[in-house]
Amino acid sequence: MKRSYSKYSAKDNLLWLILRPWIFIPRVLYILLTFIFLFLRILFQGNSKNKNVQKNLSKYLFDVIKDLGPCFIKLGQALSTRPDLIRQDWLTELTNLQDNLPAFDHKIALKIIEEELGSPANELFEEFPDSPIASASLGQVYKAKLNNSYLAVKVQRPNLYFLIRRDVVILRFLGTFLSPLLPLNIGVGIGEIIDEFGKALFDEIDYQKEAENALKFANLFKENPNIFIPKLEKQFSSKRIITTSWIDGVKLRDRTLLEENNLIPASFIKTCVISGLQQLFEFGYFHADPHPGNMFALKGGNSDSGNLAYVDFGMMDTITNSDRLTLIKAIVHIINEEYYLLAEDFQKLGFLTKEQDLQKLVEPLKKVLGGSLSAEVGNFNLKNVTDKFSKLMYSYPFRVPSRFALIIRAVVSQEGLALRLDPEFKILKIAYPYIAKKLLTDNSEEILEILLDVVFDKKGQIQIEKVESLLNILFKDSENINSDLIPVANAGLKLFVSKKGSEVRKNLLLSLIKEEKLEFTDAKKLLALIRDTFSPLNIAKSAVQNIISTV
């Protein structure tokens, strides 16, 4: 019998559960008591230096999350990517939430396959194993064989729709009720955030939707030689079954595992972060669940950019073009230390109300984000910013817009994954050069407008120090010079002589006129900066590097 799931609706789901008090009341009491006992145990044993105590506590934490079911396992997976938030001995145990959960009965899995695909597994495939190779929160994966090739067959857990529907309602109820006691000032918005989580989970249990997501994601990265997406096998996929080509890689769990397979951890960090930035700032469509169980390191690539495979496309989300451009502007304003403009960005994105006096936020934002490009960048990561913002949120009416819930989850998970591979990793060291390169090479109208705001002030005068800062961010080491110099030079030249470059040419000419006189001082500084950056020696280095990388 084929299943059909209704779309997420907070009101309908709440009414559905309230009309079933024999389900609602015992479950709420069970969740509350479970967390009270967990809190008390952590309170009394969390600081113990006894290894056995911590081992038992980590196992207890894993069992609690596992027993609470799929919704809580999803939340636990996000925690399992954060070595800066969770003790290492606890983290090791929580990593099992990603794809090492107890499997459900194999006979039930075979029954689901026959119901969904119309034939028994042993008739559909040349070989079908007696047990799954991995088991996660929503399903378990079998390694089947067909036409001398291996396939990944993911079978959904039974009764999943009911379990998720029930627990999302309860999470929303408890979250809204307990929001005044939470450490972050996110106010009534917590219900909207849980709604976003609920919508994502409802989409994730629809494997036909996941199949569409996989095809779309593969198309976006089809020109990227470092990103691999498994091929969808439509004839063996349905609402509760999804089958793809098998990915033979190494999970991005820890650097030791990668090194044992002669893989370079840093190369995968860069590919992972750059692909994540592309999803947010270029495609506007992103993988919202990038934990180590969903990402594999592959052979090939090079020491700079490793080959990376994404799997599991159930939890995906989009970002509007307006939000995408505002985020780019916000990063530029952080680079230029323009905190009033940054406050305006927060307001436009919905983190601040329209009534908020932005001038009052300039100094607090400077304290939180100031010096991120100086020596302090070595200590700058999302955890530090989150800690500082937590304090800021008590004094100022910041709130998290619901549409950013999955974006924040994805970015935090991805940084956590990178930290597992390299504890010294700093996300801004990759994010800033990426944004700088995008501004200097993307000739779209919107990005050109942002670039003009960086190069010229409101009076049309050249801001030499900001141009220099932008180039320094991109070319501050020889590695970036070699890989990015020629593309930036080509893009800049094409822009200058194109129709789109008319604004640039006009502003350059106007910048030469000061008090009705020609003034060449800034123009000379700009030419000197361009000459030093794009010197023949640097161009030659870039050409040689490009030739080597294509061999």
Beta 149-156 vs 241-245: how paired, if at all?
antiparallel
Query: 96: which residues sit within 8 A by CB, 6+ positions away?
Result: 62
Question: What DSSP state is assigned to residue 6?
Answer: P
**Given the structure tokens 């300039």, which residue do they identify?**
362
Contact indicator for 332, 325 with CB cutoff of 8 Å: no
Residue 451 and residue 448: Cα distance in Å, rounded?
A: 5
Instruction: Reply yes or no on whether 457 is catalytic.
Output: no
Best CA proximity match to 171, nearest among 129, 213, 200:
200
Q: Is the dihedral of CA 359, 360, 361, 365 positive or negative?
A: positive
Pair of tokens at residue 236? 């063996």
Transcribe 424-490 into DSSP letters. Answer: T--THHHHHHHHHHHHHH---HHHHHHHHHHHB-TTS-B-HHHHHHHHHHHSSSHHHHHHHHHHHHH
Contact indicator for 237, 288 with CB cutoff of 8 Å: no
Residue 173 and residue 168: Cα distance in Å, rounded?
A: 8
* Active-site residue, selected from the candidate residues 99, 203, 206, 289: 289
Best CA proximity match to 7, nearest among 207, 239, 203:
203
Pair of tokens at residue 8? 């997420």
Contact indicator for 315, 217 with CB cutoff of 8 Å: no
Bridge partners (DSSP) of residue 156 are 139
Count of positions (residues) in the chain? 551
Q: 251-260: buried (b, 16+ CB within 10 Å) or exposed (e) per residue?
A: bbbbbebbee
- Active-site residues, by number, are 289
